[in-house]
Structure 1
Amino acid sequence: MAGGQVTSAEFSGKHITVAGLGVSGVSAARALAGLGARVTVVDGGDNEALRERAEELRAAGVAVRLADAATLPEGTDLVVTSPGWKPDSPLFAAAAEAGAPVIGDVELAWRLRGPDAAPWLAVTGTNGKTTTVQMLASILRAAGLRTAAVGNIGTPIVDIVLEGGAYDVLAVELSSYQLHWAPSVRAHSAAVLNLAPDHLDWHGSMAAYATDKGRIYEGNQVACVYNAADNRTEHLVREADVEEGCRAIGFTLGPPGLSMLGVVDGILVDRAFVADRQKNAQELAEVSDIEPAAPHNIANALAAAALARAFGVEPKAVREGLRAFRPDAHRIAHVADVDGVAYVDDSKATNTHAAQASLAAYDRVVWIAGGLAKGATFDELVASAAQRLRGVVLIGADRALIAEALARHAPDVPVVDLDRTDTGAMTAAVLQAARLAGPGDTVLLAPACASMDMFVNYNKRGEAFAEAVRALAGPERGRGTDQ
């Protein structure tokens, strides 16, 4: 609690139950205990890793209950939930019956902000959140500002807030889960990058999912940034209750209209934060400054630039920040070129919207897809990509759903259906893709599905793909690859 800026009056002496023993739950428990609350952490799991965390918290005076996520500890005044817990969890029903409010870790962080707290520049969307927040943080650093990328990324936001006045501004990634439990958050400026069906099993409907995403605009002070190519994001701006004078700022991959950022002849330009925007536009950067320069990543850069400009960042810092930024692994990462074929790892494309954006970045694709569909359908995705597909290799538990969509919308595209879900299936998939691909094609891992049927996470899936590609390339041809 550097700087002593956090007050404990709201929490001191209260019995607070923390739901979940993950990273955010541990962070919340430690913070609340340090503020004088009586804290109990509950988690439905019981394994060695959880037991180790439990012992560490118990040493700090926190009670921990494992293997029971449904029973509310007696006398609970408030529940602080980790993001993934569903709203219909029995614990929350018990909290409602007991009159104990439920908030999330982001809401807790907001309430813990001191008088010198850094403003929040917030980002949400179905896809691109992490990349955009990291781009934004890079731009803010290039402007000489003390900042951190926080929220649904990196260091828990509660830990950052407790550092008091250590930052000038925060780049905050917020998931729909976090926004659901964060009614009080009021950002300086915020962006919704895109909206597509995702996590509907958690939210219950697309309308509920969109409503939770739209919470990010509530109370915005300077700018609500929306995607001009996705009218659902603009609708959320129109529905938001913002501070007087807050502006709607669009971004587009084409020439920008008034109060928008866009692209003209390979140049990112600003017609929102300039004098006499009826006639003038400010050059910010070149498309070539963005890596990779795929269409959806250019959109991410425009959104990051819009938030930075809303905070008063000069054009030079936007360019320098975008040039300095490098994406995380497994996000459209070029692995190697083998016999004139490019092999690209976008294992992070875990839903149809992300895969659609990834496929749109290449003209001729041999597509490796499949995994856990999470209730998704694939007709729109396949129909949009059909003309680009040179072949498809399917893996994973729900590959039949993609195969059926391919039969309906791309019946002439060769499809290899690998009837296996072991981790070695990725090596077989790469070999099959190599047989389907020719010079000038791109073999693209963009699964459109979650990975847990075959891999621990999407990172492991991407690593398996890269390893298989390097084996295909051989020791000589595999040198000089990007991963």
Structure 2
Amino acid sequence: MALRGADAVSDLENRLEHLTSWQSDWSALRVAVLGLGVTGFAAADTLAELGADVLVVASAAPDERTQLLNVLGVALVQSDLTDVPDELSAHRPELLIVSPGFHPDHVLLQWAAARGIAVWGDIELAWRLRDKVGIPAEWLLVTGTNGKTTTVQLAATMLAAAGHRVAPCGNIGVPVLDAIRDPRGWDVLVVELSSYQLHHLPRSGPGALAPWSSLCLNVADDHLDWHGSAAAYREAKSTVYANTGVACIYNKADAATLHMVENAEVQEGARAIGFGLGVPGPSELGIVEGILCDRAFLDDRFDRALELTTVTELAGAGLAAPHVIADVLAASALARSFGVEPGTIRDALLTFHLDAHRIEVVALQNNIQWIDDSKATNPHAADASLAAFDSVVWIVGGLLKGVDVNDLVRKHAARLSGAVIIGVDRTPLREAFARHAPLVRVFEIDSDDTEDVMPSAVRMAATVAKPGDVVLLAPAAASMDQFDNYAARGTAFNQAVHTFLGR
């Protein structure tokens, strides 16, 4: 008789317990992988290398990946994913690997739950396999509504400067499964985790992560359409701190992150480490008279502090926006938890450059700055971006993902010289401006032609921008309504600015 429910999952765990080498008896395991994006393909590739019997189920299958699956001997079923494909039922998977984008109540996940099929994300699979190739790396985990990628890159740069073999990976674009299979091995992985990935992680048992250190940068309403509520979103984020061994790093300016740390089940000896833009107390990183200081990772932290760098030096490196300085402090805490010296952190920061579309200065003409922060894909990120400037013509809009923009508009109404609304979710923004910023000139781009959106937005912004203003693309919304991604949106803005200014 087939096992069901907890008995089936328990049987799978017992079998996996005996898989002690990289390639042993996985050939007896039937696995289905949902999705063929970057993480889905990495999961299929990994499982094929292990010798498992793998079936990929996906709505879209790029030709290149389809060809590679054929080479790997992995079966592929293309489906609209509105129902359970016959091929999936016939495969009778014992394990389902789910790509991050699959909604928790997706029909295929409900089908798996009803049959007691174990469901893992790619992060859990990678953790379970981490010690199967050479010496396992330590993991530093990073999550938050905003700033994750910059902080991961900063921390990895600091660790590399200290001589560690380090891989930034996870939601940053390089799958963790690819990182752990690197034949050269790593000392440490800095793993960016989205709320989707965290949702699927257990907090106890064989699949639970036990990171060296962990960090939640901030928490603001986002992806509510996916998680179902703000409470569920925050609960997913809080998973990052579970079982941490050395440092649980939280944001002093965001009480939710401290609350998460206070309620986390961690390893004995793990410490709570705060960071913020004010004067630091013991076990904190902060700023004293323009000097970034560490009062956490030194024995006499009650009596003195260590200098990391200065705000002036960060300004010279293009890292002076307040929210970027907060990311620098958070990354420094991660690096310090791993033993990186303050001087090494300072040297690493002097060579660091932000990625494109993150507070990127596109042009300066007639004392008007044009700045691309297309990466500000939610109100929390746009709030930080707007706060960095005194007088703004704001280009805003896209897919709002169910979040409320009223507080954002109200908070920054006084600094707005004008606003240009783009995207499909224009009505909530139009109403928010009418309610909270009635004196601000607001333009609306209603073109359905993607190629015309940014040129029109730039022309409109130029009609109200005056010397001393910043024309700021900080959409507070996702881009997929009119662009492939935030980078494509930012590139379109860059091109439109240069064309308009005659460059």
Interval containing the TM-score (normalised by the shorter chain): over 0.9
CA contact (8 A) 2:31 2:55 kept: yes
Specify the SS of the correspondent of 2:166: coil
111, 116, 126: which is aligned to 1:99? 116
User: Runs of at least 4 residues of structure 1 off by over 3 A?
Assistant: 8-12
Counterparts of 2:49 and 2:375, CA distance in 1: 37
72, 79, 89: which is aligned to 1:73? 89
Shift of 1:350: 1.0
Shift of 1:257: 1.3
Specify the SS of the correspondent of 1:73: helix
Specify the SS of the correspondent of 2:277: coil
What amino acid is the match of 1:59? Answer: V
Q: Does 1:83 align with 2:96?
A: no
What amino acid is the match of 2:159? Answer: L
Alignment of 1:278-357 (within 5 A): 278-290=302-314, 291-357=318-384
Shift of 1:68: 4.7
CA contact (8 A) 2:224 2:403 kept: no
Q: C-alpha deviations, 1:260-307, integer Å up to 9, x for none? A: 000112211001011211110000111234333111110111100001
CA contact (8 A) 2:275 2:330 kept: yes
Shift of 1:384: 1.2
471, 474, 478: which is aligned to 2:499? 471
Greater mean deviation of Cα atoms: 87-96 or 121-130: 87-96
Aligned to 1:174: 193
Shift of 1:44: 2.2
Q: Does 1:194 align with 2:194?
A: no
360, 366, 391: which is aligned to 2:418? 391
157, 162, 173: which is aligned to 1:138? 157
Aligned to 1:38: 53
C-alpha distance 10-322 of structure 1, shift in aligned 2 (>3 A): farther
CA contact (8 A) 1:6 1:162 kept: no
Counterparts of 2:101 and 2:200, CA distance in 1: 11
CA contact (8 A) 2:419 2:442 kept: yes
CA contact (8 A) 1:6 1:112 kept: no
CA contact (8 A) 1:395 1:421 kept: no
CA contact (8 A) 1:344 1:444 kept: yes
Aligned to 2:9: none
Aligned to 1:110: 127
Counterparts of 1:288 and 1:344, CA distance in 2: 21
Which runs of no fewer than 5 residues in structure 1 stay unpaired?
476-483
CA contact (8 A) 1:421 1:453 kept: no
| Percent identity for Structure 1 against Structure 2 | 53
Aligned to 1:442: 470
Aligned to 1:58: 70
Counterparts of 1:363 and 1:296, CA distance in 2: 15
Q: Does 1:409 align with 2:433?
A: no
Counterparts of 1:10 and 1:296, CA distance in 2: 49
Shift of 1:241: 0.2
Alignment of 1:220-235 (within 5 A): 220-235=244-259
Shift of 1:210: 0.7
CA contact (8 A) 1:120 1:189 kept: yes
CA contact (8 A) 1:116 1:164 kept: no
What amino acid is the match of 1:179? Answer: L
Specify the SS of the correspondent of 1:194: coil
What amino acid is the match of 1:60? Answer: L
CA contact (8 A) 1:113 1:164 kept: no
Counterparts of 1:105 and 1:306, CA distance in 2: 27
What amino acid is the match of 1:363? Answer: D
C-alpha distance 89-229 of structure 1, shift in aligned 2 (>3 A): same
Q: C-alpha deviations, 1:386-434, integer Å up to 9, x for none? A: 1111111111211221121111111111111223242212111111111
Shift of 1:9: 4.9
CA contact (8 A) 2:143 2:217 kept: yes
482, 485, 490: which is aligned to 1:457? 485
Shift of 1:58: 2.1
Greater mean deviation of Cα atoms: 372-381 or 298-307: 372-381
What amino acid is the match of 1:246? Answer: A
Greater mean deviation of Cα atoms: 24-33 or 217-226: 24-33
What amino acid is the match of 1:471? Answer: T
TM-score in terms of structure 2 length = 0.91
C-alpha distance 428-86 of structure 1, shift in aligned 2 (>3 A): same
Aligned to 1:152: 171
Shift of 1:154: 2.8
Counterparts of 2:49 and 2:166, CA distance in 1: 25
Which runs of no fewer than 5 residues in structure 2 stay unpaired?
1-19, 203-207
Alignment of 1:210-229 (within 5 A): 210-229=234-253
Alignment of 1:221-260 (within 5 A): 221-260=245-284
Aligned residues: 469
Aligned to 1:120: 139
Shift of 1:83: 0.8
CA contact (8 A) 1:397 1:421 kept: no
CA contact (8 A) 2:46 2:177 kept: yes
TM-score in terms of structure 1 length = 0.94
CA contact (8 A) 2:69 2:75 kept: yes
Aligned to 1:479: none
